Structures are given as C-alpha cells and as structure tokens.
C-alpha cells in the first residue's frame, strides 16, 4: 500500500550550496549533514511529503532541487 503517487527528488550537486532552506521546509526529505553537505533522505517521496518537497524545490536559492 502506498500514500499516493510518487515523485522523484534530485539535487544538482554543482548548484547546491547547502543553504538549509530545503531542510527547514522538508526535514523528512532533506538534511544538512555534519560536514555541511545536503543529504537527500528520501529520493522518492509519496503524496504525504510531496507538497513539502515541492516547496523546498521552489525555495532553493540556487534552483538545485528538482521534484518530478
């Protein structure tokens, strides 16, 4: 059983500056690790987390995140 349609989350490592905006908007999906690097905790998100992941992608200052 799933929570609805799934979406793929990707990060462009060349653009990512690990600002932490994504982590603040979608902490179940993104985390900045102890080394200051972005970790994608869930690269496939179900409907329950989709809105948060999309908000994080829209708010990324470098547009490094994609949710498809």
Is the pLDDT assigned to residue 1 strictly greater than 50? no
Please answer whether residues 60 and 67 qualify as being in contact, where contact means their C-beta atoms are separated by less than 8 angstroms: no
Asked whether residue 50 is assigned to any structural domain, the reply reads yes
What is the model's pLDDT at position 5? 72
CATH number for the domain spanning 22: value is 3.30.70.20
Read out DSSP for 10-67?
A: EE-TTT----SHHHHH-TTTEEE-TTS-EEES-SEE-HHHHHHHHHHHHH-TT--EEE
Asked whether residue 53 is assigned to any structural domain, the reply reads yes
Asked whether residue 2 is assigned to any structural domain, the reply reads no
Asked whether residue 1 is assigned to any structural domain, the reply reads no
pTM of the shown model = 0.89
Return the closest-CA partner of residue 67 out of 5, 19, 1.
Answer: 5
Residues 19-63 have pLDDT tens digits of: 999 999 999 999 999 999 999 999 999 999 999 999 999 999 999
Asked whether residue 25 is assigned to any structural domain, the reply reads yes
Q: Which residue range(s) make up the domain with 11?
A: 7-67
**Based on the structure, what is the number of domains in the chain?**
1
């Amino acid at each position: 059983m799933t929570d609805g349609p799934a979406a793929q989350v990707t990060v462009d490592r060349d653009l990512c500056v690990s600002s932490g905006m994504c982590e603040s908007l979608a902490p179940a999906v993104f985390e900045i690790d102890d080394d200051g690097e972005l970790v994608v905790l869930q690269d496939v998100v179900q409907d329950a987390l989709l809105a948060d992941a999309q908000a994080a992608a829209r708010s990324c200052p470098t547009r490094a995140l994609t949710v498809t």
